[in-house]
Amino acid sequence: MDYRTLLGAREDWWDRAACRGIDVDVFYPLPNDGAAAERALRVCGRCPIRAKCRQYAVSNREAYGIWGGMTERQRAALVRRRFADSQRR
């Protein structure tokens, strides 16, 4: 299964993703499998649309998986920082 099938939707930028054609399971490693997470993050590291993917994941509250070069925990921390910053203004 690929990411488009998983999401049931299509965005134009997905066609340029480095993960295109890679089994989506790669981006959903088991919680304590750091090696598997690193494999997914390496794919994201060479992706030209990483920022759009990350924004998609944050905007759609994707709770699981590697998106835009970030793990679930990294995305949650990003959201917390953004929220804290918005409260300070």
Return d(Cα 19, Cα 78) in angstroms, integer. Answer: 22
More confidently predicted of 8 and 57? 57
Q: What's the average model confidence in pLDDT over 61-77?
A: 95
Q: Where are the domains of the chain?
A: 3-88
Token digits of residue 85: 């910053």
Place of tokens 């490693």: 29
- Per-residue DSSP letters for 39-81? HHHHHHHT-TTHHHHHHHHHHTT--SS-BTTB-HHHHHHHHHH
The answer to whether residue 68 scores a pLDDT higher than 90 is yes
Higher per-residue confidence, 56 vs 10: 56
Percentage of the residues of the chain whose pLDDT score is greater than 90: 69
Give tens-digit pLDDT for 8-50. Answer: 556 677 889 999 999 999 999 998 899 999 999 999 999 999 9
Q: pTM for this structure?
A: 0.80
